[in-house]
Amino acid sequence: MNIKAYMQTLGSQARDASRIIAAADTALKNTALLAIADALSDGRDKLLAANAVDMQNGSANGLDAALLDRLELNAPRIDAMIEGLQQVAELPDPIGEVTDLQDRPSGIKLGKMRVPLGVVGIIYESRPNVTIDAASLCLKSGNATILRGGSEAIQSNQAIADCISQGLSKVGLPEAVVQVVNTTDREAVGELITMTESVDVIVPRGGKSLIERISADARVPVIKHLDGNCHVYIDDHADLQKALAIALNAKTHRYGVCNAMESLLVAESVAKTVLPELAALYSEKDVELRGCDKTREIIASAISASEEDWSLEYLAPILSIKVVAGLDEAIEHINNYSSKHTEAIITEDQDRANRFIRQVDSSSVMVNASTRFADGFEYGLGAEIGISTDKIHARGPVGLEGLTSQKWVVYGDGQIRQ
């Protein structure tokens, strides 16, 4: 198989299909989503059979239990994919609306129309449900998609791709609106991320090393999520009950998520009051505490935090704690060590809250709320394709709108430039 030629063909088909899906109206896109849901429902046996092959190969190749769990398809997971398609069908269509209309002195009327990006490349790891998630969001936002899943899920992804093709054909849309790369050759990824003529943006989903590798080699723009080293800062003027509840929730609600708190900053004036109570709460949950010297004077059980700890995303029941002089040191620490994902201040002082909001350079900045709220569903986006830690284009939770662009629209009546 000539990988380069194969990928170029996918790209050129996707470009053609992108023009058709960009012009499709909301009803047609929604009918397509529901037709894909029907095809998945009708194809359950084939999906399970294909997945069984992947699971068998995965076991034989020594995949660990966690990876096998992510790879597995079963009845509830197929139901969840079907439900996801139905939910995306119910989301408002971002495409085609003209906003910000204004009359210009020249006599032209100017506005902005929200439009699809064109062709979106998605590169992801083992979970086959991403195939449906990503395809449905791209389809609803009027984009064509080229999906490259993990090699361990190739049979499952191809079976899902067949269902998608059936759904698209049924409503008269070209199958190339959603294409799943049918090779596990790594060269396919290298091609996909450099086909600037036919791919408008790459969205990688997976571990940090995958995303770093893709970002380093891509020539197509990448919307990416690196790590989530999130902070909570308990200010001198904090309500201590809110502080305790939020610091506990942000760390222990779920450990393996990117919006969990990984580092706690406490103003010196309240450290002796708040840290002993917090230490007791974390102890109940078996959270390992790594503190600065001042923290360890208050919490004897905390081990010593190294310089590296301030930058780590643990994704585990571990928390680093630093006592700071106050707001300024907290902001400086966060801007130096944070991954710019999500940070929260606990304070009753509105001026200090505003300074924190203005000066902390992260995609989400919160006052008196748990970092766990940084999420497309909690923000009302309906669904998310990821959380961007980039500043360009889409920042923070990325929903349908992040998969679109705007064009300028000018309505004239014969105006010429003088």
Which residues sit at the interface with a copy of itself, rule CB under 8 A?
Answer: 19, 22-23, 96, 102, 104, 106, 108, 110, 113, 115, 117-118, 200-201, 215-216, 219, 221, 239, 241-242, 245-246, 248-250, 253, 335, 344, 357-359, 361-370, 372-374, 378-380, 390-393, 395-397, 405-417
Q: Work out the burial of residue 59: count CB atoms within 10 Å of its CB; fewer than 13 is exposed, 13-18 middle, 19 or more buried.
A: exposed
The answer to whether 260 touches 230, Cβ cutoff 8 Å, is yes
CB of 407 to a copy of itself, least distance (A): 6
- The closest of 287, 272, 270, 405 to 346, measured between CA atoms, is 270
The answer to whether 228 touches 263, Cβ cutoff 8 Å, is no
CB of 406 to a copy of itself, least distance (A): 6
- From residue 260, alpha-carbon distances to 85, 104, 336, 374 in Å are 28, 47, 19, 9
Q: Pick between residue 285 and residue 391 the one whose CB is nearest to a copy of itself.
A: 391
Q: Pick between residue 253 and residue 294 the one whose CB is nearest to a copy of itself.
A: 253
User: Can you state the angle between helices 44-60 and 26-42, rounded to 10 degrees?
Assistant: 70
CB of 144 to a copy of itself, least distance (A): 12
Q: Pick between residue 306 and residue 415 the one whose CB is nearest to a copy of itself.
A: 415
Q: Pick between residue 186 and residue 358 the one whose CB is nearest to a copy of itself.
A: 358
Q: Pick between residue 34 and residue 245 the one whose CB is nearest to a copy of itself.
A: 245
CB of 132 to a copy of itself, least distance (A): 25
Backbone angles phi, psi at 284, to 5 degrees: -60, -30
CB of 354 to a copy of itself, least distance (A): 10
- The closest of 401, 403, 394, 406 to 98, measured between CA atoms, is 406
CB of 30 to a copy of itself, least distance (A): 18
CB of 56 to a copy of itself, least distance (A): 38
CB of 357 to a copy of itself, least distance (A): 6
- From residue 344, alpha-carbon distances to 156, 253, 373 in Å are 40, 16, 10
Q: What DSSP element (H or E) covers 70?
A: helix 65-71
User: Can you state the angle between helices 327-337 and 350-359, rounded to 10 degrees?
Assistant: 20
Q: Pick between residue 14 and residue 55 the one whose CB is nearest to a copy of itself.
A: 14
d(CA 76, CA 47): 13
Assign 257 to helix, strand or coil: coil
Residue found by looking up tokens 């003088």 in the block = 418
Q: Pick between residue 132 and residue 365 the one whose CB is nearest to a copy of itself.
A: 365
Q: Which two tokens stand for residue 15?
A: 């470009």
Q: Pick between residue 106 and residue 184 the one whose CB is nearest to a copy of itself.
A: 106
d(CA 418, CA 416): 6
